[in-house]
Structure 1
Amino acid sequence: MINGWPETFLAGIQTLNQILTAGIAITAFSLFLYALSFNLRDRVARSFAIILLCVVVVFTAESLQDSTVSIRTLDLLLRAQWFGIIFLPAAYLHLSDALLVTAGRPSRGRRRLAVRAIYAVSAGFIILLAFGYLLGPIVPDGKPAPYLQRTGWTEVFTAFYISALVWAGINFARAYNLMLTRSGRRRMLYLMAGATAPALGSYPYLLFGYSLAAQHQYLFWSAATIINALVGALVIVMAYAVAFFGVSWPDRVIKSRLFKWIMRGPVTASAALALMTVVRRGGELLGVPYSAFVPFTMVATVLLMEHTITFAAPVWERWLFFGRDRNELELLQNIEERLLTQSDLQQFLEAVLAAVRDHLQSPAAFVAALDDETLFPIVVGGNRSLLDQEGLTKALDHVNGDTRREFLWGNFWVLPLHRQRRPDMDRDELPPLLGLLGVARRDENQRMENDQRNALWLLADRAAVALEDRQLQQRVFRSLADLQPQVELIQRMRAAGR
């Protein structure tokens, strides 16, 4: 074991590199779906989605390569990997052109033609790849890993790759200098830093076939592992910068949504994959090719991560994204969680009426709301034919000044539902009437016991609270309806200014 430690160390580096490669593929694919879902209308986001798709192709093909696949499959994966590498320069130039347009330097046709020409050249290299001119046959026992033999066209592509990335870098710098605001320069700086990720990630594959990589395998795999770790972080930085382009949401919403997306997608999947790989490799070292702990580890990791994210999300949102507006945003969150819609109110009142009817063995019951001196039933339980809905408003004539006294109206016990008394009200001031709770008697001789009356009034108080919340929330909905057009206009102007 001690004598073979260099081989063990190299195998450990390669395993870590495989985990990072798969993690980058998962992260890039997740962020690609994010771009497709939320801000694909923006030109910057569309060009960034193309870069992410190239990264997905490169790192997915790389992560599928291991000693268990056949030579033919390995050759196919290596050529698919180069499909993503070939289109990266064109996608970079496309993104840089979109950034210049966003920064106030629109194309007069020349940059647009240049971008199309670069895509056409990339398509030409794809044709060369398909016919075996860009890369030769596979070297299955090549060092530091199996690779496709280099040809003269490979050197031409390398020069094209470097030239296009330098051109795109110049455009990035121009866009940065055109930014006038501090926030614009900061996001452009994030974007420029993150834009180095795909270029760094594809660089090791351009070295395959050179003697330098074959002679210094430890250096090569160590550098590849470090680069992959940087690529994973920088891709997220780049996605963060692009997420603000072309969307009308506030910054805190963008940050929170992207952070939650990354935690539930790439972080959870990468953690499950990493632990599965460790468990599987540990089983192989112990002489067990397949371990039942592999699927158990995957399921347990996903469940624990989702559980943790669900409970931690409100905490990190308050501390990372709310800022000085924490109290206002927490109030809005509480309103959203506790708001009673019409369906929620009806379900609650139906439950109250069910408890009332069960308690008094009543054939029917109703809750009516008072709007503009007119009563109309919100919920009716039991036999509806017992309720005279047209003459229901006449029941208001029987309401006296006692807020805790029921009265008879036809065959119904009727309980007035008042608002809760506020501390600033006078002692003899009567709280406003909200509505009525009616309970049908089984027969004319039925009487209520004290316990039944107390229980009935307890349920009536719950119905009164629900009606009071209904009135308050109707005001909130009307205010939001009046405010929504102005908010949408402001958000559209905000999106146009990004």
Structure 2
Amino acid sequence: MDPLELLIQINFVIVAALLIASFSLLIYLLAYYFRSRSARGAAWLLVSVFTVYLGDLVLFFVGDPRSAERWLRLQWLGIAIAPAAYAHLTDALLERTGSFSPWRRWAVRGAYGLGIIGFLLALWTDLLVHDGTADGRAFHLWAGPLFPLFLVYFIGGVAWGMINVWRARRRTLISTHRRRMTYLAVTMVAPAIGVFPYLLLAGRTLPAFPTVFWGLVGLSNLIIGTMLFGMVYAVAYLDVLVPDRVIKQRWIDYLLRGPVLATFVVLVMFGLSRLSHLLGLPLALLLPLAAAGAIVSYELFSDWIRPFFEWLFLRRDVSELARMRRLSDTMITTRDLRQFLEGILALMCEALRSPTGFVVRITPNGIEPVAAFGPIEQASMEETLSVVEGSTDGPIVADGFWVWPLRSRGDSVLLGAIAVARPTGEVTLELLQETIRGWVARAAAALEDRILQERALSALEQVTEEVRRLRQPEQAPSTMPLVEHPEFTHWVKEALAHYWGGPRLLQSPLLQLRIVQQAMETHDGNPIRALRAVLMEAIEQLRPDGERKLTAPEWLLYNLLEMRFIQGRKVREIAQRLALSESDLYRKQRAAIEAVAMVLAEMERRAARASEEGPSSTQPA
């Protein structure tokens, strides 16, 4: 391959990467910052760049000037609206600094109108441009009689935009904002450089030196791409009330999952076409292999390159981010805890040759079963746990079980217990004592870690809720009572499904209930804990009197709710314990949720009546 052809191929890859970058950045701004007028102005600039580079990419595959002319004319959509987009963006920047001007807004609208007129003239007439031609591999149009007027419009619009952005910079009072405005002012020239049709002025001068021409085009495109990223990065900080770290982290994630990934795929496909030609193999044969290899290799590549991006954008926060990542890796969820304790209980049952055992933990709401094998009643668990309250070591024999207390490492607070039914055969417990002691210690440590995490997560949930309220605009209160809303039962179902935490619990409309607001007074102002307490109270109101029975019809709804949502057991396990089919269990679950919703509605109505009657009851007769 001669040097000129190599330069052209390199330019093809660069143009493809720029097309991907402009589209990705456009989607990024619209997805995250659509409410910002500055971001919308920058988005129009990216539309301009995307349109022009889409045409440039297509021209690499066009063989004759006649076909190229259609695409060259379509490119004028991006060329014609660029000055208007500059005016749009810089007017928004000036408004951020308190400079409001109605005539400037009308000028922006007029600029868009002129841009549309210019595009239509270029598309349907020869007044602005005419006669597509090819000089070597470079296609271009010739300037028409109205092109000088368009040149005045283009240069005037871009110059006005650049003057406005420097005016906005001078009006900025905060040094940090002024620095970012400087970045924006410098990088904003990129779209104008990228979309302007230079060959209409240069004619055949530059294409007469093809190596120099394609080298300059490639170098300028690389600079333009870099400046586009800088421009969008600066715009991302405007009108956004989130920490810098969040913006930078979002930026890194989007870069790696969007433009970097897409460019990686383009490079693989480009190399694949060359490899197919060299090896003489059909592209259809190499494509599946290359796709699989690209997916796997990009996972490794992104892990390798992420630290560089984090150093580039988050160098001051790298150590804290690493600590947060380590904390995330060591977090233990409710499901993790249950599976871990089930594993320990299974090992103990196998070692002691017993098919029955359970693990319980102590919670503010009483004893909570965590893992169990075999049929075990709640009363047996409570009685067994009461035996070990004054003991520090096990096993303790109680009601046919060997019981080991689970205590915290520091102050030996009782956290729960592991119990295994005594087998009928002979088992030499002394030989297994050290092994079992190690298992019990690990179970106690897991319980203690989970309790500490629950406290931390509870505090974090409260902070997250406050931050969410700060970031979201206040909504007008609805006149319809929540309990009469058609979605009330669905909200109850979502809250029960996320009883132990989750984003839907943080966003649950049930947090607005009067009974939840009242419960916050006894739960340190934590709305999540208050909602959990209210849900638990509603479930407890469905509990029948007398001793609990798993298969009794009157206990069915309570047992189902307690096992499914409080204990978090699997559907199959609950169905087996309640002697139901899974389909029947789902029907009963709907009925149970509706029952909880009815109880909550009645609790809310009672609270409303009490608040209305309270003031009047204190009035003198």
Q: If the TM-score is normalised by the length of the shorter chain, which range does it land in? A: 0.7 to 0.9
SS in structure 2 opposite 1:408? Answer: strand
Counterpart AA for 1:376: I
SS in structure 1 opposite 2:138? Answer: coil
Instruction: From 100, 109, 124, give the equivalent of 1:106.
Output: 100
1:92 is the counterpart of 2:86:
yes
Cα distance change on mapping 1:30 and 1:462 into 2, 3 Å: same
SS in structure 2 opposite 1:247? Answer: coil
1:484 is the counterpart of 2:464:
yes
1:359-407 superposed Cα distances (whole Å, 9 cap, x missing partner)? 33433322111235x74233242333xx231353333442265533111
Equivalent position of 1:347 in the other structure: 339
Equivalent position of 2:494 in the other structure: none
Per-residue deviation, 1:247: 2.8
Counterpart AA for 2:100: P
Equivalent position of 2:10 in the other structure: 16
Equivalent position of 1:376 in the other structure: 367
- Measured in 1, the distance between the counterparts of 2:288 and 2:198 equals 32
1:100-142 superposed Cα distances (whole Å, 9 cap, x missing partner)? 11122123x2111111111111122232233234555553534
1:157 is the counterpart of 2:144:
no
Per-residue deviation, 1:253: 2.7
- Measured in 2, the distance between the counterparts of 1:358 and 1:207 equals 84
Equivalent position of 2:28 in the other structure: 34
1:256-279 superposed Cα distances (whole Å, 9 cap, x missing partner)? 331342244323433443465356
1:186-244 superposed Cα distances (whole Å, 9 cap, x missing partner)? 11111112111111111245536724345444443333222111101101111111121
Per-residue deviation, 1:72: 5.9
Counterpart AA for 2:414: L
Equivalent position of 2:602 in the other structure: none
Instruction: From 430, 437, 455, give the equivalent of 1:457.
Output: 437
SS in structure 2 opposite 1:438? Answer: strand
1:124 is the counterpart of 2:117:
yes
Instruction: From 219, 222, 225, give the equivalent of 1:226.
Output: 219
Equivalent position of 1:470 in the other structure: 450
CA contact (8 A) 1:135 1:148 kept: no
Equivalent position of 2:349 in the other structure: 357
- Measured in 2, the distance between the counterparts of 1:398 and 1:315 equals 57
CA contact (8 A) 1:143 1:213 kept: no
SS in structure 1 opposite 2:362? Answer: strand
Q: Which has the higher contact order (CA 8 A, sep 6+)?
A: 1
1:256 is the counterpart of 2:256:
no
User: Which is worse superposed, 408-417 or 476-485?
Assistant: 476-485
SS in structure 2 opposite 1:104? Answer: coil
Equivalent position of 1:141 in the other structure: 134
Equivalent position of 1:115 in the other structure: 108
Cα distance change on mapping 1:41 and 1:356 into 2, 3 Å: farther
Per-residue deviation, 1:45: 1.3
TM-score by length of 1: 0.84
CA contact (8 A) 2:74 2:123 kept: no
Equivalent position of 1:407 in the other structure: 396
Counterpart AA for 2:233: Y
- Measured in 2, the distance between the counterparts of 1:89 and 1:289 equals 48
Return 5+ residue gaps in structure 1 as ranges. 2-7, 423-429, 494-498
Equivalent position of 2:72 in the other structure: 78
Cα distance change on mapping 1:145 and 1:396 into 2, 3 Å: closer
SS in structure 2 opposite 1:249? Answer: coil
SS in structure 2 opposite 1:358? Answer: helix
- Give the CA RMSD over aligned residues: 3.2
- Measured in 2, the distance between the counterparts of 1:413 and 1:237 equals 67
Instruction: From 384, 400, 405, give the equivalent of 1:416.
Output: 405
CA contact (8 A) 1:375 1:393 kept: no
Cα distance change on mapping 1:302 and 1:190 into 2, 3 Å: farther
Equivalent position of 2:323 in the other structure: 331
Instruction: From 394, 411, 414, give the equivalent of 1:433.
Output: 414
User: Which is worse superposed, 261-270 or 220-229?
Assistant: 261-270
Per-residue deviation, 1:169: 1.0
Aligned residues: 472
CA contact (8 A) 2:48 2:81 kept: yes
- Measured in 1, the distance between the counterparts of 2:231 and 2:432 equals 66
Per-residue deviation, 1:249: 2.9
TM-score by length of 2: 0.68
CA contact (8 A) 2:385 2:416 kept: no
Per-residue deviation, 1:48: 1.2
CA contact (8 A) 1:87 1:119 kept: yes
Per-residue deviation, 1:490: 6.9
